[in-house]
Chains A and B, each alone.
Chain A
Amino acid sequence: MTRSELAIKNAARRPLRTAVTVSGVAIAIAALFTLLSFQRGYQSGVQGELSRLGAHILVVPKGCPYDAASIALHGARWPCYLKAEYLEQVRTAPGVGTAAPVFMNALYDTAGEQTVYVGVDRDIAGLKRSWRWSGTLPQQEGDLLVGSDIASRRGWALGESIDLPGVPGHRGTVRGLLETTGGADDGFIYMRLADAQRVFEHPGELTHILVRLSDSDRLDQAVMNLRGCSAGLEMNVVPLTHLFKTISNLVSSTRLLMGAIVAIALLLGGAGVSNALLMSVVERTREIGTMRAIGASRPDIFRLFWMEAIQVSAVGGVIGSALAYASSRAVELWLRARLPFAPTDVLLGWEWGVAGGCLVGAILVGSIAGLLPAWRASCLTPIDAMRTQG
């Protein structure tokens, strides 16, 4: 028999009380787990999305709503346009390596399903370096490159001639199939820029320009150059690192709210542990006296109760982490509906690092919560403890 076995047996003595105490800690740790894994999932999700975009800078029309960047990332109908002439100025701005013009549109078919069309020229291949595809990129009129999701959903095969969903009277041929990217591209239909402008009746216009720099370390300089060119007043030049911060700021209130909930939950969970153990000290006063009589020192008694607090909390931590993981899908759906911008990647997943952090957190809560009861127990003098009835 060891000290920790003794502490476990003590905790098992009042199963209901211990269960309630453990649940308190478990709920708090579940909240902590969700917060931490959201923190990481969101961060890496946004980062992944931006890197899949392949650009360092996004050029969008001036006067576009604030969420132009999120439209570019996830695909939607654009409310305003850029003149195609600006492209030449962007291309020739010092520091710019590749500038890919894009015309994007989103349409609903009769079934109410949204289809996103993206018109691009050959430069897109210079940006989407992670793309893998079979067949070819759009080269001739009517050529299409389709994302893996939409292709499998609609059952399209290479070489197939199709009606463009949501664009009655227009047809195209699937010339390329994009392999799964894990991002929004999986649901897009790519076509030639000229086709898109024609089909959607915006000749000579773009929705945005994706810019890759020749030297990504000279971002600030390149941004200044772009803003300074003569078309600079008509364009919004958005560096993606800046966008990352902006998006992170958008969720900061959500994060703060979650943080406050977690802090309160941890406090209550810890208070529950303290309270249960303080009761237990009172109930076991005579036992403590007996143990002192048979040779337990004050530190022995302290450790016994302290360990019980830590064990109870650690169990709560493990259960809480499991609970958070089990409910992560539901919580993710709930969160996505409330976030101003949610990356396509999974936000809440299992991560050993987070689980480890939660266990450490639980042990920390337990070790703090256990101080008071352990101190109370160790301060009982043997004779006072012996004299207690019970």
Chain B
Amino acid sequence: MQPVISALNLSKTYRRGTEQVHALASVSFEIGAGELVAVVGPSGSGKTTLLNLLGCMDVPTSGDLSIMGHPTRGLSERALTRLRRDQVGFVFQHFGLIPTLTVEENIRLPGLFSGKQVKHRAAELCTRVGLDHRRRHRPHELSGGEMQRVAIARALLNEPHLLLADEPTGNLDSVTGGSIISLLQELTAQGLTVVVVTHNDRLAESAARRLVLEDGRLAPSI
């Protein structure tokens, strides 16, 4: 079966004045469908950088990346946006909900950009993440765990093959974090590919596979 992600010699070099920062240096791996992969490593090791590349939010300095078999090299800004919109869901540590929109509207937001009919699916997702009773609430009326559920539902709206999460439990206590971990596990069980950057040991342990980054390089996996 075709891998969801295939990265070959991915590198990302930032320029900070005259200094060059090799945030990612020649990283290669493949991730298959339905995998839950944890990206771990010390602060500054390049985890967020890697996730941004996988989500087509940024382009690598060198190397090749394919998402669902689509090579991303040389794609235009527009094509990258479309790839991100149709294939990838994003979840952030800071939730990233729009404060003026209700829970349901936040979940439906990606539909506005994809132009798809999403009313039904949004309601379904609301139920799936257990927020039926919070549909008409605004983000500031929710707990952190609830906000992260909304963000996950939103990320799933366009039926992506890949879910990327950058420290999704970073702002949550361990109990709430635990419920998010179970939700991610459920999703992978249903065939979704999930790549999650985390400092949370429980989350890292629950992942079937770990990518360990050190100074922008992939340590031999365990």
A293 touches B90 (CB 8 A): yes
When distances are taken between beta carbons in the complex, the residues of chain B under 8 Å from A289 are 96
Question: Are A293 and B81 CB-contacts (below 8 A) given A2-B112, A13-B100?
Answer: no
Cross-interface CB contact of B110 among A2, A295, A298, cutoff 8 Å: A295
A294 touches B113 (CB 8 A): yes
Cross-interface CB contact of B113 among A9, A12, A287, A295, cutoff 8 Å: A295
Question: Are A294 and B155 CB-contacts (below 8 A) given A10-B100, A12-B100?
Answer: yes
Per-residue 0/1 for B153-175: is the Cβ within 8 Å of any A Cβ (1 yes, 0 no)?
Answer: 01100100000000000000000
B112 touches A293 (CB 8 A): no
When distances are taken between beta carbons in the complex, the residues of chain A under 8 Å from B109 are 1, 291, 294
B84 touches A293 (CB 8 A): yes
When distances are taken between beta carbons in the complex, the residues of chain B under 8 Å from A294 are 85, 89-90, 109-110, 113, 154-155
CB-based nearest A residue for B99: A13
List A residues 287-318 near B (Cβ within 8 Å). Answer: 287, 289-298, 300
When distances are taken between beta carbons in the complex, the residues of chain B under 8 Å from A386 are 52, 57, 92
When distances are taken between beta carbons in the complex, the residues of chain B under 8 Å from A291 are 98, 109, 113
CB-based nearest A residue for B97: A290
Q: Is the interface of B mostly helix, strand, loop or mixed?
A: helix
CB-based nearest B residue for A298: B77
Cross-interface CB contact of B101 among A1, A293, A381, cutoff 8 Å: A1
A297 touches B81 (CB 8 A): yes
C-alpha spacing A382/B166, complex, angstroms: 15
CB-based nearest B residue for A293: B90
The answer to whether the Cβ of A122 comes within 8 Å of any Cβ in the partner chain is: no
A293 touches B96 (CB 8 A): yes
When distances are taken between beta carbons in the complex, the residues of chain B under 8 Å from A71 are none
Cross-interface CB contact of A298 among B81, B90, B114, B154, cutoff 8 Å: B81
Cross-interface CB contact of B52 among A13, A287, A300, A383, cutoff 8 Å: A383
C-alpha spacing A286/B155, complex, angstroms: 17
A286 touches B108 (CB 8 A): no
CB-based nearest B residue for A12: B100
C-alpha spacing A287/B109, complex, angstroms: 12
Interface residues of B, count at CB 8 A = 30
Residue among B86, B98, B158 with max Cβ neighbours from chain A (10 Å) = B98
Question: Are A290 and B112 CB-contacts (below 8 A) given A383-B52, A383-B57, A383-B58?
Answer: no
Question: Are A295 and B81 CB-contacts (below 8 A) given A300-B113, A383-B52?
Answer: yes
List A residues 308-342 near B (Cβ within 8 Å). Answer: none
CB proximity of A11 to chain B, nearest CB, Å: 10
CB-based nearest B residue for A3: B112
CB proximity of A385 to chain B, nearest CB, Å: 10
C-alpha spacing A279/B8, complex, angstroms: 42
Q: Is the interface of A mostly helix, strand, loop or mixed?
A: helix
CB-based nearest A residue for B55: A293
A6 touches B81 (CB 8 A): no
C-alpha spacing A296/B154, complex, angstroms: 13
CB-based nearest A residue for B96: A290
The answer to whether the Cβ of B146 comes within 8 Å of any Cβ in the partner chain is: no
The answer to whether the Cβ of B105 comes within 8 Å of any Cβ in the partner chain is: yes
Per-residue 0/1 for B92-131: is the Cβ within 8 Å of any A Cβ (1 yes, 0 no)?
Answer: 1010101111000100111011100000000000000000
B85 touches A295 (CB 8 A): yes
C-alpha spacing A9/B97, complex, angstroms: 14
Residue among B77, B105, B109, B158 with max Cβ neighbours from chain A (10 Å) = B109
When distances are taken between beta carbons in the complex, the residues of chain B under 8 Å from A290 are 90, 92, 96, 98
Cross-interface CB contact of B114 among A13, A287, A292, A295, cutoff 8 Å: A295
For this complex, 27 residue pairs linking A to B, each with C-beta atoms less than 8 Å apart, are A1-B101, A1-B109, A2-B112, A6-B101, A9-B101, A286-B96, A290-B96, A291-B98, A291-B113, A292-B57, A293-B55, A293-B57, A293-B84, A293-B96, A294-B85, A294-B90, A294-B113, A294-B154, A295-B114, A296-B85, A296-B113, A297-B81, A297-B113, A300-B113, A383-B52, A383-B57, A386-B92
A-binding residues in B (CB < 8 A): 52, 55, 57-58, 77-78, 81-82, 84-86, 89-90, 92, 94, 96, 98-101, 105, 108-110, 112-114, 154-155, 158
Additional pairs, 6, CB under 8 Å, beyond known A3-B112, A9-B101, A294-B85: A1-B108, A291-B98, A295-B110, A295-B113, A386-B52, A386-B92
B-binding residues in A (CB < 8 A): 1-3, 6, 9-10, 12-13, 286-287, 289-298, 300, 381-383, 386
